[in-house]
Amino acid sequence: MSAGDTTGLDPALSRRSFLQSMGGLVVAFNLLGRATAAVAAEQSPATPTAGNLDAWLAVHPDNTATLFTGKIETGTGVQTALAQFAAEELDFPFERLDVVMGTTSLTVDQGPTYGSMTVRYAGPQIRQAAAAGRQALLDLGSRHFDVPVGELVAAQGTISVAGSPSRVITYGKLVDGKRINVEIGASGKGFDLMVAPQARAKDPATYRVVGRSLPRKDIPGKVTAQFTYVQDVRVEGMLHGRVVRPYGVGATLQSVDAKGLQDIPGFVRLVRRENFLGVVAETEWAAIQAAARLGSNLNPAGPQAGQAKWSDWNGLPKMGDLWETVRKSVAHDYPVANQGSTASAFAKASRTLKATYQTPFQMHGSIGPSCAIADVRGSGAIFWSGTQMPHDIRGDMAKLLGIPLDNVEVRWAEGAGAYGRNGLEQVVADAAIMSQAMRRPVRVQWMRWDEHGWEPKGPPLVQDLRGALDHQGRVVAWQHHVWLPTFEDTHLIAAALIGSPDISGTTGVGEPAIAYAYDFENADVAFHGEGRVGLMTSWLRSPAQFETTFAMESFIDELAAAARQDPLEFRLAHLKDPRAIAVLKAAAEAYGWDRQAASGRAVNDGKPARGRGIAWVNRDDTRVATIADVTVDPHTGRIQVGRVVVAHDCGLVINPDGLKNQIEGNVIQSLSRTLHEEVTFDTAHVTSRDWVGYPILRFEEIPDRIDIVLVNNKPDQPSTGGGEPSTCPTAAAISNAVFDAVGVRLRQTPFRPERVKVAMI
């Protein structure tokens, strides 16, 4: 049973009624491969109560078990990691434990799945719930065998009497047919939810499941086509929908010429509300054809070129003015660090350096365009979604449709990797509006150009850095000012199009995403934030910290080079954080770093030149140091990465191979963002609308090796995040390696060949 099978729950089956009929810990869901006919109930099943054991765990008569979690899987392997927490504390065979994720009627709201916070926050919640479950089973065992709990042994899904190996019973048999209504207690909510505070969890030194590289539960189904992605969900009676977005981001719909649409076999009708335009058809192909005629194409010729006529809107900034626009738009200032007196330190310094770093809009670029199914009937609605925040989207949809929250259910199924808030949330609203109009289930999948064009983007940043060295080459002053739009815009595009832009969602103002990392006498670090600037933005893997790390770790390298010092040594000389020092040293040792200043010599023989670069980050308490080798070809401007070494400290690692998979993925994705990725746009809309316009890293460009060292992976260390921190150091490590190789500083991503060649002139 894979996570995707949660969509196959019989819709007639409410969790509560099922639990009542089967008893607390005993649940045997009827899991079908595919969703059956959905009839939106006027009163959908409520979200379970966190303080009840059966909100978290079910043990079935065949001695299998299910963990229920409000967290979701997005390819990072947290489903497996959370199962390890539960199997460990429950003393249950990992292989016999399935995980149901996200579906709002089946799982507790543990907060959205983002920010590398799942293992860190949801892990302990599940650990406590499972510890309480083990306690409940021992209590049952005590009554069954009529011996005190202290004389029982729980192991591998069985309870036995110590010293009497024949007196043994499986968990499944033990709870068979009984109603166990165990209150385990809970307080707080989301990330701060505290579950079963009285339950005694195991001593981490005794862990046997946590800490092992167990194979991921989802991979066999994914490589054999037996897995159900949200894109695979089919609901009886459903129609296929496609959106037709405005030509310009803020354009208004003037008219729609429906001529010829009825001739498309399978076409059903248009759905139009204010500026929201969609098409609905019996077949996916018909929906695509109809949308194309209205103007949904890779390269639409103009606002009036399709049968949908849009106003000529040109409200985006000119691309060449992007960073100046960001700089000028700012309304909010946040000090991050302010110590000593930078002004007087700069005045007295023997040498000062300054530099500006610029990074563009980037996109999540999911390989599978966003998809959702909505079944809206009267005042009830069911959604099938791959969202990272099913419980939040449930509330958003209630607001959008104007129906009671209690009548809304979100059934979660995994989508393609999202890496942040992409279109998966947005498309639910598109489907909602179309299904509401049709009074039938409607499946909407975005086309590639919808995804590239309309997914919320990672924001552009412009950063000014200034540093001062004394005559011994020590940093005596450091100034780092960052200008950026928000990366937390949770408004729904469809809501804006129907004329209710603020019905749900908020727009942040560019909050700090930086840890003041070094120990400088005088420092002035500040953010200057704004809301939306140009394109809609949302969090993209390591939001804004990928970019701030690029600037700080490149600029510290500039200072090291100016001081003619080894870049590793220079960093260590300005650091006190022992965990930062440990990862830098571990990476250097694994790499075989000999301490010497970066060469920084210009290439004048025309031959490819090699260099090495180092960078590190503290992202939400996880420390990562990265060293990269590059070869720069001065003729082509092409940067090829050779070896990459990553030292990673996120405390106790739940699944080392799973974490390594994530680190490798972070390295390659961030390398892609460093070398290739930039959203292009004109004053009307995004123009990088496919993989040609927005290229990402390909196989022939991958590093030769990625060597990973796990640091501080000890049972007594709390686990911090692993899903994204190793994204952060890459751009700086590459930039610094390019300087070492050919003597130029690349201060603007992406480092495309033409930009590298220009820099080398």
User: Tokens in use for 446?
Assistant: 């975005």
Give the C-alpha distances (Å, rounded to integers) separating 724 from 482, 617, 648, 661: 21, 11, 11, 12
Q: Distance from first CA to last CA of the chain, Å, rounded?
A: 58
- Choose, by CB under 8 A, the member of 367, 502, 595, 636 that binds another protein: 367
For residue 448, state whether it binds another protein (rule: CB under 8 A).
yes
Interface with another protein (CB under 8 A), residue from 667, 686, 711, 737 = 667
Stretch that binds another protein, among 312-320, 465-473, 590-598, 654-662 (CB under 8 A): 654-662
- Can residue 116 be called a binding residue for another protein (CB under 8 A)? no
369 contacts another protein (rule: CB under 8 A): yes
Nearer to another protein, 298 or 562 (CB): 298
User: Which of 163, 165, 225, 472 touches another protein (CB under 8 A)?
Assistant: 225
Q: How far is the CB of 227 from another protein (least distance, A)?
A: 7
Name residues contacting another protein, limited to 54-93 (CB under 8 A): 74-77
**Sheet containing 705-710: order of strands:** 609-619, 622-633, 638-649, 705-710
DSSP type of residue 345: H
Nearer to another protein, 132 or 679 (CB): 679
**Residue of 756, 358, 746, 739 whose CA lies nearest to 560:** 739
36 scored as a contact of another protein (CB under 8 A): no
Q: Taking a C-beta distance cutoff of 8 angstroms, is the pair 45, 15 a contact?
A: yes
Task: Tell me if 720 sits within 8 A of 621, measured CB to CB.
Answer: yes
**Nearer residue to another protein within complex by CB, 241 or 417:** 417
Closer residue to another protein in complex, CB, 205/692? 692
How far apart, in whole angstroms, are the C-alpha atoms of residue 19 and residue 581? 52
Phi, psi of 478 (to 5 degrees): -145, 125
Judge contact between 249 and 26, C-beta under 8 A. Answer: no
By CB under 8 A, is residue 37 in contact with another protein?
no
**Matching residue, tokens 């940093």:** 475
Taking CB under 8 A as the rule, does residue 542 contact another protein?
Answer: no
Q: How far is the CB of 540 from another protein (least distance, A)?
A: 12
In eight-state DSSP terms, residue 318 is: P
Contact predicate 727/542, CB 8 Å: yes
- Of 144, 179, 234, 269, the residue at the interface with another protein (CB under 8 A) is 234
Length of the chain: 761
How many residues interact with another protein (rule CB under 8 A)? 63
Give the H or E element holding residue 339: strand 332-339
Cβ nearer to another protein, comparing 426 with 479: 426
Residue placing its CB nearer to another protein in the complex, 172 or 658: 658
Distances (CA, A) of 323 to 240, 360, 459, 485, 552: 40, 8, 11, 10, 18
- Among the residue ranges 63-71, 213-221, 401-409, 621-629, the one whose residues contact another protein (CB under 8 A): 213-221
- For residue 449, the minimal CB distance to another protein (Å) is 9
Q: Are 510 and 486 in contact (CB under 8 A)?
A: yes
Question: Does 232 contact another protein by CB under 8 A?
Answer: yes
Strands 239-243 and 442-445 come out as: parallel
Closest CA to 690 of 294, 285, 247, 300: 300
**Span 668-697, contacts to another protein by CB under 8 A:** 668-669, 672, 690-692, 696-697
Instruction: Report 449-478 residues binding another protein (CB under 8 A).
Output: none
Comparing CB distances to another protein, the nearer of 66 and 727 is 727
Q: Cβ of residue 72: shortest distance to another protein, in angstroms?
A: 12
Residue 559 in tokens: 């200072």
Instruction: For the segment 396-435, give every residue that binds another protein (CB under 8 A).
Output: 414-417, 419
Q: Is 7 in the site for another protein (CB under 8 A)?
A: no
Q: Is 662 in the site for another protein (CB under 8 A)?
A: yes
Q: Does 226 bind another protein (CB under 8 A)?
A: yes
At residue 632, the 3 state secondary structure works out as strand
- For another protein, the binding residue among 153, 194, 582, 702 (CB under 8 A) is 702
Query: Which tokens belong to 552?
Result: 């700080």
* Residues in 254-293 at the binding interface with another protein, rule: CB under 8 A: 265-266, 283-285, 288
Q: Is the dihedral of CA 634, 635, 637, 638 positive or negative?
A: negative
What residue ranges bind another protein (CB under 8 A)?
74-77, 215-216, 218-229, 231-232, 234, 265-266, 283-285, 288, 298, 365-369, 414-417, 419, 445, 447-448, 657-658, 661-662, 664-669, 672, 690-692, 696-700, 702-703, 706
